[in-house]
Structure 1
Amino acid sequence: MSDDLKNKGQQDRSRINMNEDHEVAYWTEKFNVSREELQRAVDEAGSSADAVARMLRAK
């Protein structure tokens, strides 16, 4: 995943990188979940943003 904050291409939108604080902040706000909830979803569903979104909607 790109760490260039100016490069917001498809690669950045399709994966969740829990090691990047700015990404965790974005995804927790987008999904309206805590960091811990996001981490659990990523652990279960993988780093695909679509898979995590499906998992969070199912709960």
Structure 2
Amino acid sequence: MADNRQKQDNRDRSKVAASEDYGVACRVLKFGASKKRALELIIKHGGSRKNFEAERARSP
């Protein structure tokens, strides 16, 4: 039986996992940051996408 799509709570969308290569790679491609810099920002902000994107917008 398939999962009930009505019971999704979107917790995964608010965080980026530094331990998952695809999450880091997505940030690298989207913002043009190096992999090392992306990992630093993910760790600094505890994986918060919102804070990561805000800091990337402030710094080139």
TM-score normalised according to structure 2 size: 0.67
Name the structure 2 match of 1:33.
Answer: 33
Q: Secondary structure at the match of 1:16?
A: coil
Q: What are the superposed Cα offsets for residues 28-55 of structure 1, whole Å, 9 maximum, x if unpaired?
A: 1111111111122123222111100111
The one-letter amino acid paired with 2:38 is: L
Please, which runs of 5 or more residues in structure 2 have no aligned partner? 1-8
For the aligned residue pairs, the C-alpha RMSD in angstroms reads: 1.7
Q: Distance in 2 between matches of 1:44 and 1:51?
A: 9
Structure with more relative contact order (C-alpha pairs < 8 Å, separation 6 or more): 2
- Structure number, greater radius of gyration: 2
TM-score normalised according to structure 1 size: 0.68
Q: Secondary structure at the match of 2:17?
A: coil
Extract structure 1 runs of 4+ deviating beyond 4 A. Answer: none
What is the aligned length? Answer: 51
Q: Distance in 1 between matches of 2:14 and 2:29?
A: 16
Q: Distance in 1 between matches of 2:55 and 2:12?
A: 19
Q: Distance in 2 between matches of 1:22 and 1:39?
A: 12
